[in-house]
Structure 1
C-alpha cells in the first residue's frame, strides 16, 4: 500500500503515528545526549511538525480517536505515578505533602482563579473551572526534571507526591466548578450536582482500591501466571478507568492513581518487573502525548491571546504558585530553602492541557464564549513553565544547596584495602565516593581513612532512605562474595544503567559451567582481577595514582613516564567520568584526569631509595605538572 496524503495535505495516519513515536523517543535521546530538558525538545518538535510545517495534524489524522487516545495515555501515566508512591518514601515529607494537598490545593485554586479573572480577563465561570485544573503541577514533567536535577530526597519527595496526588484532585476540582456552572447556566438542581460529585468520587475511590487489592491478591497467590501479569494489569487498568469515568467524568484519574498506590505498597515479589515495564511504557506515552498536543495547537488558536496572557503567566509563576505553597508549608519542619524550591517550582504538563481543552469546549457549548481561550492559555502556561523550570531547576537547586550531587559520584559495594585505596583515588579526582558493606567491622579501615561509609545492605529499604543514591553515577561491586556482587550489579543495573555498573572478576567465571548470561552481573574493570588478586596487588608493590594531563604534558608523556601503569578511570575536562573496561582506551584530552594503578613510586618507599628519589624530583621542579598526584 502506498503512503498517501489526505486532502488536508497531512501525512497518512500510519506514517503520522510512526512520526510521533520517532520524534518523542528521538527528542528524549537527543536531550540525554545534549543534557537538555527532554520536554522542551519534545514541545519544539511538536510545534515544528505541526503548526510550522503542517506535516502533522492530529485532529485530521486520528479524528474521533484522538481524545480517547490521550485520555487513556494520561490514565496510564497517572497509574505509573501511583506506582511510585511508596509510603515508606514519604516519612520525611508526610506533613509537607498533607499540607500541600489539604491547604495548598484550595489556596492555589483561589489564587489561580483570581489571576485568570483579574489578569487574563476571563469570566468567573471560566476562571473557576480553569483555576481548579491549574492545581495540577504534572508528574509527567516533574519526573524527568527531578531525574535531571538530582534533587535531595525530601524536596524531591515533596514535588513528586504533590504532583501525583494533585493531578486527580485538580481534575476533580475542575469537575466541581463545572458542575456549579452547569447548575447556574441550566437551572439544574444544586442537590443533584452535589450528589453526582460525591457519588463519582466515592465510586472511583472504591473501584480503584478494590482493583488494586484484587490484583495484589491474585498476583500473590499465583492466580495469574508470570507472563500474563502485565497484560492483566493493563486490562484491569483500562476497565477501572472506563468504569469510573462513566460515573463521573475525569474521576477515572483518581481511580487509577489509587489503584497504583495500593499495588506499590502491597510488597509484591514481581513488583520491580511490573514497574519497570510500566516505566518504559510511560516514557513512550509521555513523549507521544506531548508531541500530539504541541502539533495540534494551531496559530489561529494562539492568536486569540493578547498581552494579558503574558501577564497571566508571570503572575502565576511569581505569585499564584509561590504564595499558597509558602502558606501551606508555614510552621512545618521543612527548612526555608526547601520551601522556596518547592514554591518556585511548578511546571504544568499533559493533564493540564488535556483537561483544559475538554472543559474549554464544554464551557463554550454552554454559551460562555471565553471558554475558547482556556486551551490556548493552558498551552502557553505549559510551554512557559516547562522551559523555565527545565533550564533553571538544576542551577537553582545547586545554589540552594539542595542538589544531591553535581559531580558523578562512585558507590563502591564491599569494604577492603583495595576498595579503600580506590575510593581515595576517586577523592583525589574531586569526586564524591562512598563505600557500603553489610559488615560494620570491615568498614573500620574506610572510616579511619576518612571515606564516607554506609553500614548495611545497599539493596535494602534503609539504604534508599539514608544514602542519596541519586548523587552516584557509577557502581563498583567489589565485595569478597561473587554471588552478592552479581546480585548488586543485576539489581541496580536498570536503575543506574547497565553501562554504569561494574564488578570484580568472579573466581569461576572462566569455567563454561559457571558462566552467567549477559543479562546478569556488571561490566568488567580494566584489570580483570578477582577479589583476592586485587587486594593482594594493592597490599604488595602497587598503588593508585591520579595524573592530570595538559597541553605540555600529554597522554604520550603519561605513558612514557608511567609505562607500567594501567588506567582504570578517566575524568574528562567536561566532568564526565569513564570507568574503563578491558578494551577501553583513554581519550587523553588536555585537562583530563587519569586514575591508574602501578608500582609504588620510589619516594614512597623507605631508606636510601626514597631519599634519592625525592632529591631527583626536587631537581626537576619545573615539571611539577607532569608528575602524578
Structure 2
C-alpha cells in the first residue's frame, strides 16, 4: 500500500472514529452533536494536535464530501412528512415564505456592509444560513419542554425549510457565477430542469422497483444507495451542480409514491447519514484555519449578533403579526434559530465548485476563505449559545410546558379509550398510538386524539405529537412487547413516567422490576386480564369503568370494584391505589377510576324526563318525531334552529331506513350521529297507535328512540337487546300499554330493569 493511500485510509478512519465517538458522547449528554464534532475536529486538526491533515487528501477529500453530502441531503428528503405541508398554520407558512426572504436579504445586507464583499456573493452566503434544520432543533425541543404552540412552530419550520433553502442556495449560486452576463434565468432553469426531471425520473423508477418487489428485501438498502449516487452523478454530468436538487427531488418522489414500508431503508440511510456527518464535520472543522478565524473577527462578531439579535426578531415579528402568540412567546421564537447539518453540507459542496471555477471575480476569489469560516461560525455561535441557553431563557419567559400533562397509551381498545377519558378530566393530553388504522378510526370518531404508527419505530420521537411526551402506558396484550416499548421510549421519557401492563401470569421478579434495571419500567395492573379481554368485557357492558370518589361507592361497588388509578394533588398518577391506606386519605375527596364488575344497565340512559305519554292523535310518524325533538331540545343540547332542522331531517331519513318494528305495538328508532357522545333513550307512548306496517299488522303504541354515536356499536346493540328483554315480557308489556302517566310508565320500567338485572 502506497504512502498516499495509507495516509488517506488512516485519515478517514481517524475522522470516522473521532466523529462517531463524539456523537455517542453528545447523545449521552443530551447535547447537539455538532458542538462536540466541531471541538473534536479542531483539536485533532493541524492547528492543534496535528493528528490528521485533511488538506493532504487532495481530490479524495472532495470525493468523500460529495458522496457524504449526497447521502445526507437524500436522507433528509426521504424522511420528511410531506403530508404536513397542508397542515401547517399561518405563522409557519409565513416563516417559510416571507421569513425566508427577510432572512436572506437582511443578512446579505449585513455581510455586504460589514465586509464589503460583492453583493451577489453576500446573497449566496446568506442563502446558505437560511435553513435551521431538525437535527439541531429536535434536541433543544426535547430538553426545553416548550408550550405546544411554540414546539409546533419550531418543529415544522426546521423540517420544512430545508428544501426551500436548497432551492434558494442554487438560485443564489447561479447569480454569483453568472457575473451579470448571459441568460441567468436560462442557466437557472436548466439546472432546475435537469435536477427536477432526472431526480423525479430516477425517484419514480426506484419507487416502481420497490413497489413491484423487483428488488429482493435484503438488497433494498444497497439498491437505494447505488441509485442515490447514480442520480447525483448523472445530474451533475448533464448540468453542473444540479445533482443537489436531483437527489432532493428523488427523495421526495420516493417518499410520496412508495406503497411498501420503507422504514428499514430510512433507518439504513439514517445510519449512513450519521457516519458521513461524523466524517464531514471532523474533516471540515479540522481544516479550519485559525488565521482565517482571526480575520473574521471582530466584524464577524457584530455580524453574528445582527443575525441573531436583529434579523431573526424582525423575521419573527413580521411573520407573527396578527397571530395569537403573546409577547414573551415571540421573544423566545426570536432567540431560537440554530443552524446545522444542511447549512454545513451546502457550503461544503459549493466550496469545491467555486475553488475550481476560473471565471470568478477577483473580489470573490480572494474572499473564498470567508465562506466556510462564516458558515461554521454561524453554526457554532447559534448552536452553542442558543442550545445551552434555551432552558434558562424558556424558564425566564415562562414558556415551558408541564410534560406530565402529555400521555401516550400504546394499544387501541376500549380500555385505553376509557382511561384517556378519565385522564382528560384532569387536563391531560392523551394520544392513543397503534399500528392498526381501523381500530384508531373508531376512537378518533369518538373524539380521542389518535396517531397511527409503530411504537418501536426509530424516528417515532421526531413526530410532533410525541416530542413532548412525559408519560406512557404500554397496554398491549404482549408482555414482552410492553417491556420493549418502555425500553425504547426511555430515550425521551424518564423511567418514572413509563408504565406497562405485565399480566396476571407475570413473575414476582417482573412485578417488582426496579428502575435501575435497563429494561425496567413501572409494572401496573398485574392483577388484571389482558387489555383485549377487558376491552371486550367493557364493550359488552359486562364490566364498566366508573369515576367516583371512594366515599360515593355503593356497597356492591366496594365489594366488586378495583381501583385502577387516581390523580394526586401534584397532578401525578398513582396506579392501583388502596383507599384503605392512611397515606392516601387526602385523596379520598378526589375522583378515582374504578373497574367494576357490572352488567350493562339501561338505567343511566333512560331518564324519567325522557319518558312521555301522549293522548294526541298523530296521522303520520313524522309528527311524533317533530314533537319528540321539541321535548328533547335541552337533553340533546340543541342551541340553534339550524341544528334543530338538521337533526329533524336526520331523524326522518334514518327512520325510513332503519326503523326496527318488533311488533306487538312496539317499534325502535335508532338515530345514529357522531355528535352524540353518550347514548340517550327516549320513550313515547301514544293511546292512538300508528300503523307502521309491522309484521303482525298491529298499530304501534310504544316508540323507543335510541340516540347514539354511530361508532358506538357495542352499546347500541346492548341497548336494543335489553329493550327487547323488557317488551317481550308479556306482563311488563301489558302493564306498559295500560299505564296512563309517564310516572307510572317509569315505575314499570325501573322494576323490570331491577328484576331482570339489565
Choose from 354, 369, 374 the match for 1:372: 369
Name the residue aligned to 2:348: 354
Choose from 229, 232, 236 the match for 2:223: 232
Go from structure 1 to structure 2 and tell me whether the alpha carbon gap of 1:260 and 1:222 turns closer, same or farther (over 3 Å shift): same
Name the residue aligned to 2:70: 75
- CA offset at residue 463 of structure 1? 2.9
- CA offset at residue 323 of structure 1? 2.4
The 8 Å contact of residues 347 and 385 in structure 1, kept in 2 or not, is answered as: yes
Name the residue aligned to 1:411: 408
- CA offset at residue 328 of structure 1? 4.4
- CA offset at residue 201 of structure 1? 0.3
Determine the C-alpha separation between the residues in 1 that align with 2:281 and 2:17: 13
Per the alignment, in what secondary structure is the counterpart of residue 385 of structure 1? helix
Determine the C-alpha separation between the residues in 2 that align with 1:408 and 1:13: 53
1:463 paired with 2:434, answer no
- CA offset at residue 64 of structure 1? 1.0
Go from structure 1 to structure 2 and tell me whether the alpha carbon gap of 1:494 and 1:164 turns closer, same or farther (over 3 Å shift): farther
1:110-145: CA deviations, max 9, x gaps? 212211111233233432332332323345434444
1:157 paired with 2:149, answer no
1:442 paired with 2:418, answer yes
Determine the C-alpha separation between the residues in 2 that align with 1:154 and 1:263: 26
Determine the C-alpha separation between the residues in 1 that align with 2:58 and 2:221: 29
Determine the C-alpha separation between the residues in 1 that align with 2:319 and 2:427: 40
Name the residue aligned to 1:29: 24
Equivalence map 1:207-246=2 (5 Å): 207-246=198-237
The 8 Å contact of residues 416 and 475 in structure 2, kept in 1 or not, is answered as: no
Determine the C-alpha separation between the residues in 2 that align with 1:406 and 1:219: 40
Per the alignment, in what secondary structure is the counterpart of residue 463 of structure 1? strand
Consecutive unaligned residues of structure 2, counting only runs of 5 or more, are 441-448, 453-462, 508-518, 535-542, 544-558, 589-758
Determine the C-alpha separation between the residues in 1 that align with 2:327 and 2:235: 40
Q: Please, what TM-score do these two structures have when normalized by structure 1?
A: 0.69
Determine the C-alpha separation between the residues in 2 that align with 1:314 and 1:498: 33
Per the alignment, in what secondary structure is the counterpart of residue 475 of structure 1? strand
The 8 Å contact of residues 409 and 416 in structure 2, kept in 1 or not, is answered as: no
1:528-585: CA deviations, max 9, x gaps? 936339999x9789898999xxxxxxxxxxxxxxxxxxxxxxx9xxxxxxxxxxxxxx
Go from structure 1 to structure 2 and tell me whether the alpha carbon gap of 1:598 and 1:508 turns closer, same or farther (over 3 Å shift): closer
Per the alignment, in what secondary structure is the counterpart of residue 190 of structure 1? coil
Choose from 182, 187, 209 the match for 1:190: 182
Go from structure 1 to structure 2 and tell me whether the alpha carbon gap of 1:177 and 1:541 turns closer, same or farther (over 3 Å shift): closer
The 8 Å contact of residues 89 and 157 in structure 1, kept in 2 or not, is answered as: no
Go from structure 1 to structure 2 and tell me whether the alpha carbon gap of 1:196 and 1:541 turns closer, same or farther (over 3 Å shift): closer
Determine the C-alpha separation between the residues in 1 that align with 2:330 and 2:88: 12
* Larger RCO (CA within 8 A; separation ≥ 6): 1
Name the residue aligned to 2:459: none
Name the residue aligned to 1:252: 243
Equivalence map 1:371-390=2 (5 Å): 371-390=368-387
Determine the C-alpha separation between the residues in 1 that align with 2:584 and 2:140: 50
- CA offset at residue 275 of structure 1? 1.7
Answer with 278-287 or 147-156: which moved more: 147-156
Name the residue aligned to 2:275: 284
Name the residue aligned to 2:55: 59
Choose from 296, 309, 314 the match for 1:323: 314
Per the alignment, in what secondary structure is the counterpart of residue 275 of structure 2? helix
Determine the C-alpha separation between the residues in 1 that align with 2:309 and 2:87: 27
Q: Please, what TM-score do these two structures have when normalized by structure 2?
A: 0.58
Name the residue aligned to 1:203: 194
Go from structure 1 to structure 2 and tell me whether the alpha carbon gap of 1:385 and 1:231 turns closer, same or farther (over 3 Å shift): same
Per the alignment, in what secondary structure is the counterpart of residue 50 of structure 2? coil
Go from structure 1 to structure 2 and tell me whether the alpha carbon gap of 1:455 and 1:241 turns closer, same or farther (over 3 Å shift): closer
Question: Looking at CA atoms only, which structure, 1 or 2, has the larger radius of gyration?
Answer: 2
Choose from 288, 297, 311 the match for 1:306: 297
1:104 paired with 2:99, answer yes
Per the alignment, in what secondary structure is the counterpart of residue 194 of structure 1? helix
Name the residue aligned to 2:607: none
Go from structure 1 to structure 2 and tell me whether the alpha carbon gap of 1:545 and 1:200 turns closer, same or farther (over 3 Å shift): closer
Go from structure 1 to structure 2 and tell me whether the alpha carbon gap of 1:598 and 1:347 turns closer, same or farther (over 3 Å shift): closer
Determine the C-alpha separation between the residues in 2 that align with 1:531 and 1:306: 67
Name the residue aligned to 1:265: 256
Determine the C-alpha separation between the residues in 1 that align with 2:158 and 2:424: 38
The size of the alignment, in residue pairs, is: 516
Name the residue aligned to 2:691: none
Per the alignment, in what secondary structure is the counterpart of residue 531 of structure 1? coil
Determine the C-alpha separation between the residues in 1 that align with 2:451 and 2:281: 31
Choose from 126, 129, 135 the match for 2:124: 129
